[in-house]
Structure 1
Amino acid sequence: MKHLSRFLVASLLVLGFSTANAQDQNNPWAVSIGVNAVDIYPTGGDLENVQGDIFSEFFNASDHWNILPSVSRLSVGRYIGSGFVFNVAGSVNKIDVLGETEEGDAVNADDLSYYAVDGGINYSFKEAIGSKWFDPYLGLGGGYTWVDEIGVGHVNGSFGLNFWMTENLALNLQTTYKHVLEDYETGAYPPTHFQHAAGITFAFGGKDTDGDGVYDKDDECPEVPGLAEFNGCPDTDGDGITDAKDDCPDVAGTAEFNGCPDTDGDGIADPKDECPTVAGLANLNGCPDADGDGITDAKDDCPNEAGPAANNGCPYQDKDGDGVLDKDDNCPDVAGTVANNGCPEVTEEVQKKLNEYAAQVLFDSGKSSIKAQSDKVLSDIIAILNEYPSAKFTVEGHTDSAGSEASNQKLSDARANSVKTYLTGKGVDQFRLSAIGYGESRPIASNKTRDGRAQNRRVEINLVK
Structure 2
Amino acid sequence: MKKLALLLFFIGGLVSAQAQESISTDSINKTNKGLLLKLGLNLVDSTGKYNPFEFLSSFDEMAFSENFNIELEYRFSNSLSLSVAWSNNKWKANKGRIDGAIIPSDVKYSAIDLDLKYYYNQSFGGWFDRNDWLELYLHGGVGRVSQADQSGMTLNVGPGVNIWFSDQFGLNLNGTGKWTLNKEEYNSNHFQYSTSLMYRFASRDKDDDNDGVRNKMDDCPNVSGVAQNNGCPEEADSDGDGVVDAMDKCPEAYGTDNGCPEVLMEADTDGDSVLDSADKCPKIKGLPTNNGCPLLDSDNDGIVDVADKCPNVPGVESNNGCPYEEIEIGSTKTNLNIVSKGILFNSGNSNFRQESYPVLIKVVEMMKQHPEAQFKIEGHTDSSGGYDSNKRLSQTRANAVRNYLISSGIPSENLIAEGFGETRQVASNLTGEGRRLNRRVEIIRTK
Q: Normalising TM by the smaller chain, what interval?
A: 0.3 to 0.5
TM-score under structure 1 normalisation?
0.39
TM-score normalised by L of structure 2: 0.41
Report which of the two structures shows the higher radius of gyration computed on alpha carbons: 1
